[in-house]
Structure 1
Amino acid sequence: MVHLPQKATEQNSPFAFFFLVLYTASVLIRPHEMFLTSIEWVTIKVFAIIALIATLASQRPLKLYPQHWMLLGLIPLIAISGFLNGSGMYGIEQAQRLFISSIIPLFLYSTCITSIKRQHLLMVVCIVAAMLMIHNGHVQQSEVFGWALDTHAVGHTELPDDRRITYLGFFNDPNDLGMFLVMNIPFVIYFYKKGQFLTKITMLGALAAIAYGIYLTGSRGTALGAGGLLAVYFLVTSAGPKLLITSVVSAPIAATVIASLQSNIDSSADGRLEAWYAGILMLLDNPIFGVGMGQFFEEHGLVAHNSFIHVAGELGVPGYSLWGGMLTFTLLTGYFFIKNGKVPQHETVDITTEPDEVDENFQNELTLNKTLFMSLIGFMITGFFISRMFTLLLFIYLGMLLASHVRLVKIRPHLKVYMDKKIAIRSMAYCWVVILAVYAALKLGL
């Protein structure tokens, strides 16, 4: 990891975190878009800028981790790919967009969430946003239009059972809304386990509401994401390394087989398989720089409906290695912390003299790490069936998980070995398991 210039002492900026909370609420709840008078307000950009300036000015230490560098490495790749594929200015625009809507949020969340209390507050904001989306969707189910300005159900709106709910901003697609709901399931379960009677009752209601909301989205990928979380939880907490590795390799194949079976009765599923294969061909024809960011639709006429295939087709081997490596490295680190949170036998670190509250804080951090790990798994599963490679949701939750890793290493420095750049480099190879598995399944089935 690379250290930026910093003061010797730590400084946590309450001002920066305050505006990060406002930014989170504006992105997820989007209150400014609920009224005609404020719909054009640029509150999201203003809050992000203030939070960034405050972080750079008063947050210490400031560090860049491999995830940051991997995203930064995508910027020149996107620009070069655009020029080589005849869309130079568009490539530059996409690179700028990546910096603003992906790199900056990742940096802010990974830097400013310096305590469990801060993380809890942001998790509550996420759950509140989910409940508002579900209630708005419930109104859409009966009246087509929700109470949030201009939000309406999509699909066969004349048939209530075929209506698919939406929300404001980038949640205007049922699949994005469903992805967000799945990523909040671990948050609700976390507060249920930690809370007292009233909290447990509240979280049970929230969990039931999320299940209802997932049903209202009508998204098969979302339903698979919710079910997949249970399977992954079992594998992570109970399965041995061999079973886990086998499951990771076979999961993309199984998902492709499921999509293939659906294609026999659903034309949209058949189109998804064709798009996946088209993405593989784009990668094989343009292995270095791909077809250019944003050009998948131009080449095929449809998006890939698969975040992994989409990135590989548009950005080639280097681009997918950086993007996929970023995800894989973060998940691997989280998994190592889950499995190896205790001090190894060969470590010389003496933890017997540490205060009890430090040990309790460490266990709380481990529990929070597992929760955030599962939320990111929720993105991985749902993202396998839709193209949301650079959605802001990914970088909000990725930043939260990275911040958890930073706090864990601060408490137990010996865990720093799991955030080593060597693991990050290997992760850039491990991420290709998904692409190779899909390709093998497609070759066998098409």
Structure 2
Amino acid sequence: MFICILAALTMVYNGHIQQASFNGKFGIGIGDSITVGREEMRISYLGFFSDPNDLGMFLVMNIPFVAYFYGRGGGLTKILMLAIFMALGYGVFMTGSRGTLLGSVAVIGIYFLISNAGARLVLFICLSAPIAATLLASFGGISSTESSAAGRLDAWYDGIQMLIHNPVFGVGMGNFMEEHGKVAHNSYVHVAGELGIPGYSLWGGALVLNMLVGYMILKRFNHYLSEEELAKKEIDEETSKLYQEEVNLNKTLFYSMVGFMVTAFFLSRQFTLLMFIFMGMQTASHLRLMKMRPDLSEMFAPKMVWRCMGYSWAVIFAVYMTLKVGL
């Protein structure tokens, strides 16, 4: 996590250099990285972070890391983490990505929601969020112009039509632009249109399974001992301490992936390296917890896997119904 935060700060610093050196066409930063969008001065970095959307997504996914160290540190650490948090916010602003801006707000909002709301309210909001986001897009809330908003909705609708007409294999990976002319600006619709029902079920099911297990650990298995074991006083202090530390880490990775899932709704970043890296870290945390509490392995039972594949379709269904009925 230290490495991720350090990398994020380097990107923010590079972005500041880029904007400070703007010459009317572009600004230049480290390694000849340049801004994009001309007067918009959207910052970028090197490699696959040369796209402002990828850079912004990475900054959003680092916000929970900052919160993790803020909660564990002393006075100086807390001050430092607050400064880093403001730097990340500055970086998100410089990317000019409305999707990542919504993602950063959503991470903070969902943290307070999950911490204070019951399971039914959380479920209701999760189901209604895609509908609200689609309505937001229809009114231009995430686009700078009305035509941009309409183009985004057209891409979403066309993506679902690709799925309907090619339900088994989709139009093929990488062929969305061939069919529509532009990317979908929605990772879920993009995958469904390109890979069909089997492909999206695997992609979306893996995401939902990881997140659902993380949520259950956060709400139901956040302590090493169950009530029965606690009553019997079967206490292993060392294991209990290790378990609690791992739960805190698991919680942090959960909210990082929340940032990805929200921003992915407005960006076509379905196969970005960030997703696989952070999902890998989250899965590794799940496995470490399962070694300490073998009963947690039930959450990865085949029945749960099939359920998560089904749950993943709620996003596509909500978007389609909103576009078809409400707009």
| C-alpha distance in structure 1 between counterparts of 2:152 and 2:233, whole Å | 55
Which residue is equivalent to 2:155?
Answer: 275
Pair 349,197 (structure 1): closer, same or farther in 2 beyond 3 Å? closer
Which residue is equivalent to 2:189?
Answer: 309
| C-alpha distance in structure 2 between counterparts of 1:249 and 1:302, whole Å | 27
Q: Give the TM-score, by structure 1 length.
A: 0.69
Q: Which residue identity does 1:305 align to in structure 2? A: H
Whether the 8 Å contact between 1:409 and 1:415 is mirrored in structure 2 is yes
**Of 120, 124, 148, the match for 2:30:** 148
| C-alpha distance in structure 2 between counterparts of 1:356 and 1:131, whole Å | 37
Which residue is equivalent to 1:377?
Answer: 258
**Of 168, 171, 180, the match for 1:288:** 168
Which residue is equivalent to 2:108?
Answer: 230
Gap runs ≥5 in structure 2: none
* Matched-pair identity in %: 55
Q: Which residue identity does 1:154 align to in structure 2? A: V
| C-alpha distance in structure 2 between counterparts of 1:434 and 1:373, whole Å | 19
Confirm or deny that 1:247 pairs with 2:129. Answer: no
The total of aligned residue pairs comes to 319
Which residue is equivalent to 2:248?
Answer: 367
Pair 349,413 (structure 1): closer, same or farther in 2 beyond 3 Å? farther
Which residue is equivalent to 2:216?
Answer: 336
Q: Which residue identity does 2:262 align to in structure 1? A: I
**Of 178, 203, 209, the match for 2:87:** 209
| C-alpha distance in structure 2 between counterparts of 1:310 and 1:407, whole Å | 33
For residues 193-215 of structure 1, what are the alpha-carbon distances to aligned partners after superposition, in whole Å with 9 as ceiling and x for unaligned? 11123322221111010010011
Detail structure 1 runs of 4+ shifted over 6 Å in the superposition. Answer: 347-351
Pair 391,350 (structure 1): closer, same or farther in 2 beyond 3 Å? farther
Confirm or deny that 1:413 pairs with 2:294. Answer: yes
Whether the 8 Å contact between 1:264 and 1:270 is mirrored in structure 2 is no
**Of 182, 188, 192, the match for 2:70:** 192
Q: Which residue identity does 1:409 align to in structure 2? A: M
Confirm or deny that 1:325 pairs with 2:191. Answer: no
| C-alpha distance in structure 1 between counterparts of 2:264 and 2:51, whole Å | 14
Which residue is equivalent to 1:20?
Answer: none
Q: Which residue identity does 1:376 align to in structure 2? A: M
Pair 187,249 (structure 1): closer, same or farther in 2 beyond 3 Å? same
Confirm or deny that 1:430 pairs with 2:311. Answer: yes
Report SS of the residue matched to 1:407: helix
Q: Which residue identity does 2:244 align to in structure 1? A: Q
Report SS of the residue matched to 1:149: helix
Report the Cα offset of residue 433 of structure 1: 0.4
Report the Cα offset of residue 264 of structure 1: 9.4
Gap runs ≥5 in structure 1: 1-122
| C-alpha distance in structure 2 between counterparts of 1:411 and 1:183, whole Å | 27
RMSD: 1.7
| C-alpha distance in structure 1 between counterparts of 2:105 and 2:83, whole Å | 19
Report SS of the residue matched to 1:315: helix
Report the Cα offset of residue 356 of structure 1: 1.8
Report the Cα offset of residue 348 of structure 1: 6.6
Q: More displaced, 295-304 or 202-211?
A: 202-211
Whether the 8 Å contact between 1:260 and 1:445 is mirrored in structure 2 is no
| C-alpha distance in structure 2 between counterparts of 1:223 and 1:431, whole Å | 24
Which residue is equivalent to 1:33?
Answer: none
Report SS of the residue matched to 1:222: helix
| C-alpha distance in structure 1 between counterparts of 2:28 and 2:284, whole Å | 36
Residues 117-128 of structure 1 aligned to structure 2 (within 5 Å): 123-128=1-6
Report the Cα offset of residue 350 of structure 1: 8.5
Whether the 8 Å contact between 1:130 and 1:180 is mirrored in structure 2 is yes
Report SS of the residue matched to 1:400: helix
